[in-house]
A and B are shown apart, each in its own frame.
Chain A
Amino acid sequence: MSEVLLQQIERLAADAKTKSTQLHKGETMIEIEQSQLKNFITRLVNQIKIRHLSTITGLDLGQNIGIIYHFWRDRNTIHLKTFVPKTKPTTVSIVDIIPGAILYEMEIHDMLGVMFVGNPWMDKKLLLPDNWPDDLPPPLLKNVKPADIRKRLGLEVEKK
């Protein structure tokens, strides 16, 4: 990671009352509060000109669900990590800043049940089948077993 960029990122992180840590060469991880997220990304896009969002990853971390936004420019990768509690999985959408994030947010909504407030397509399914029962938990959570899903959807073939 170039020195100048690193300093800029550190300054941004300090403004958001958090710290940046170096994961590997050229890779920075920043853990950030949900309330600071939009402000941080706006400044990342407008001031530092890191405009390309690779994707958004959702992680099941036990009590919380982790959401990581992966940005890169040249040889620098920035992971922006935020947490939402499993009891109330709601966070803000960044579609108004980065319109390209719309499908990534839909994917996490399908797979981990996180609601992104502000995403216009949150009521639609992207990956899950149309006959997915509403009371079935999102499939990528750790406690969900593929066999249970198959059984519930009537796809399990009984062994004789």
Chain B
Amino acid sequence: MTEDKPPRKEESAGLMKYSAENLVPFGPIHPALKEPEYFKLVLEGEKIVEVIPRIGYVHRGLEKAAESRPWVQNMYMFERTCGICSFVHSLTYGQAVEGLTIYEIPRRAKFIRTIIAELERIHSHLLWVGLMGHWAGFETLFMWVWRDREVVLDLVEAISGNRIHKSMNAFCGVRRDMPEGMEDRIVERMKFLVDRANYYKGIVDTEETMLERTEDIGRVSAETAEKLCAVGPMARYVGLRRDIRLNDPYAAYDEVPFDIVTSKEGDVHALLKLRLDEMIVAANMVSYAVKHLPEGPIRIKIPPVIPAGEHSSHSEAPRGEIFYYVKSSGGRTPDRVKSRQPTMANLPTALEILKGQTIADVPVVLTAIDPCFGCMDRMSFLDIESNRQWTWSGEELRRYGINYYFPERMKMR
């Protein structure tokens, strides 16, 4: 496959004639998507040599806002940090605050939290696999996977009443109980998702488009990833056994049997398979937790004033470790809340991976680390030497990437 492909430089010579270092501003904004980011890419020909990030375009000052709001109101505000992994934010903030009180969380509530968190993981991973297909030029995968994603969203809606912002958490418990008679339906749907995940694993292993675009791309060494404090799948795909569910169990993770998935290959293809494997593990966990759901209360009501003190909590979101630190001075509002999202922790690793890649691989690599794709919808290119400037939309960039790898396909369209 690689032998009969012409060398990359000549292939792209017609598109980009550069002699000196080029600066490519990448991003920043697309109003419809979750987190616009902006990367300044310094190029040498086709190769990226340096990346400078600039985030904060949707910085809403949540930490400042939290200081003037009651404890419980903050829980639902922090849930709105993200539109995909929303539940885990309120869970981690809740755990940090619960640590300052003397109350014990009911066992049934812990199980329900685990079920919702794992359903959210399946949802997030499915969404990601679909996008990966889209950016690699394999639309069929995107359509299939996003159809299967509806299965999870329907279940979440049946349990919590909402598709995205579940608002299930409360301090020391959950707000809604599991509906009666859901067990069989959930187990049956999880079985369906396991079958689908296995099927997709076969596809990404055999389909030429996916292999060509993902194999040997996005490599980083385990030492570098550890030094750069990578979290979640970004740490596990190079072989680090770093998963808060296993290392520091919260909710009911010490009672539900599971094993984390790691990979040794360390490229985007390994990430694809790792996330599909994690989906299977998560689906089995949901089935187990539903079958072994203990009886009892789901919530303890606690007073609105939280005792003074400092506490931190972390948990494993679909993208990696989420960290919350809270400081109370014994009042109705927090003194300080610090929240750190996994994308922030993975960004240094992402910048390291981007170095040495070509522009054609940027969409795939940036989607692989699962930050946000909003930045890709508007790119402007600047050639320092001739001061020539042009703009590519996300779609044009995607076409450029596909054309770079499969020129014959683009001619056919």
Residues of A at under 8 Å CB distance from B? Answer: 23-24, 26-27, 29, 51-55, 57, 59-60, 68, 70, 72-75, 77, 79, 98-104, 107, 110-111, 121, 124-129, 139-140, 142, 146
A79 and B312 contacting across the interface, CB-CB below 8 Å: yes
Which of chain B's residues have a CB closer than 8 A to the CB of A73?
247
Which of chain A's residues have a CB closer than 8 A to the CB of B291?
none
> Which of B52, B56, B226, B344 has the largest number of chain A CB atoms within 10 A?
B56
CB distance from B92 to the nearest CB of A (A): 12
- Across the interface, B340 reaches (CB within 8 A) one of A55, A121, A126, namely A55
Residues of B at under 8 Å CB distance from A? Answer: 52-56, 59, 61, 63-65, 67, 99, 226-230, 242, 247-248, 309-312, 314, 321, 323, 325, 327, 336, 338, 340, 344-345, 347-349
- Across the interface, B247 reaches (CB within 8 A) one of A74, A98, A110, namely A74
| Bound complex: CA A1 to CA B99 (Å) | 16
| Bound complex: CA A126 to CA B53 (Å) | 7
- Across the interface, B345 reaches (CB within 8 A) one of A59, A68, A75, A100, namely A100
- Across the interface, B56 reaches (CB within 8 A) one of A55, A60, A74, A128, namely A128
* Given A124-B52, A126-B55; 18 other pairs, CB 8 A cutoff: A23-B309, A27-B312, A51-B227, A54-B312, A54-B345, A55-B340, A57-B325, A60-B336, A68-B325, A73-B247, A100-B227, A103-B53, A103-B347, A127-B55, A129-B56, A139-B61, A140-B63, A146-B61
CB distance from A86 to the nearest CB of B (A): 16
CB distance from B174 to the nearest CB of A (A): 23
Which of chain A's residues have a CB closer than 8 A to the CB of B65?
146
What residue of chain A has the Cβ atom nearest to residue B341's Cβ?
A55
| Bound complex: CA A79 to CA B228 (Å) | 19
A27 and B311 contacting across the interface, CB-CB below 8 Å: yes
Nearest first, the 3 A-B pairs at minimum CB distance are A100-B229, A127-B56, A55-B340
Which of chain A's residues have a CB closer than 8 A to the CB of B52?
121, 124
A74 and B248 contacting across the interface, CB-CB below 8 Å: yes
Which of chain B's residues have a CB closer than 8 A to the CB of A59?
327, 336
A54 and B311 contacting across the interface, CB-CB below 8 Å: no
A23 and B311 contacting across the interface, CB-CB below 8 Å: yes
B325 and A70 contacting across the interface, CB-CB below 8 Å: yes
Number of A-B contacts (CB under 8 A): 96
Which of chain A's residues have a CB closer than 8 A to the CB of B59?
127-128
CB distance from A76 to the nearest CB of B (A): 8
- Across the interface, B323 reaches (CB within 8 A) one of A55, A75, A128, A142, namely A55
A72 and B314 contacting across the interface, CB-CB below 8 Å: yes
CB distance from B4 to the nearest CB of A (A): 40
Mind listing 9 A-B residue pairs with CB under 8 Å?
Answer: A27-B311, A27-B312, A75-B248, A98-B229, A103-B53, A104-B340, A127-B56, A128-B59, A139-B64
CB distance from B228 to the nearest CB of A (A): 4
A54 and B321 contacting across the interface, CB-CB below 8 Å: yes
Which of chain A's residues have a CB closer than 8 A to the CB of B310?
23, 29, 79
